[in-house]
Amino acid sequence: MKVDGLARLYDRLTPRERLPLIVAAAARGDEADRARLLAAAPTHLFRLPDYYGLAEGLRSLALLHVARMLDLAARYSHASGLFAQEEDCRGKAGKAERARRLGATRMLAHLLLVNAEGWRRFCSELRLDGDLLLKNLPGYETLIRAEEVGRLMAFTPEEATAWARQANGESAVVPTSDAVVASLREFLKRQAERWG
């Protein structure tokens, strides 16, 4: 394969020039060009403490957790707003539609609580205060408020399972805090392994 003239200069790019080109190559699905850009980058040798990979993984995981929780909080807020609007319209939707909307709202509240509980349990396994890891991140106060409000409306685990099976068939599975803990463990393990 013939490499074009620009690719021969990839080793001279600055990090600020290289990164946009890597992102663009990935976006267009050009794995060969992306690989050339990565391989041509100069490398540096750093000395890091033995816990660095774990700490970086935990930092990434906290950011990901907050993003997922904010998404759930926004979806819950949207669903509860739609349900409240329908209530104000005095039954424009039929009983079945109102029940579906209420069920969806309660399920989102349930998922919010399941994920919050999973995070706390996961952090407890690591002997860490999960709230302490999140409290300085943007959106933390929103999550606390969403969890408080969600507790008022959330399905119990049994109600969540029954609703999901009625809506999606008997094979429907509702996430549990155990499943959340397992996925958080797996993410942290993969992140820590990247650093040796």
Q: Which pLDDT tens digit goes with each residue over 36-71?
A: 999 999 998 988 898 999 999 999 999 999 999 999
Of the candidates 64, 67, 59, 53, which has an alpha carbon nearest to the alpha carbon of residue 189?
A: 53
- Within 13 Å, how many C-alpha atoms sit on residue 126's CB side? 18
Tokens, residue 193? 């392994």
CA distances from 43 to 10, 38, 39, 40, 129 (A): 14, 10, 9, 9, 36
Average pLDDT, the chain: 90
| Predicted TM-score (pTM) of this structure | 0.81
Return the pLDDT at 144: 95
Of the candidates 76, 171, 82, which has an alpha carbon nearest to the alpha carbon of residue 116?
A: 76
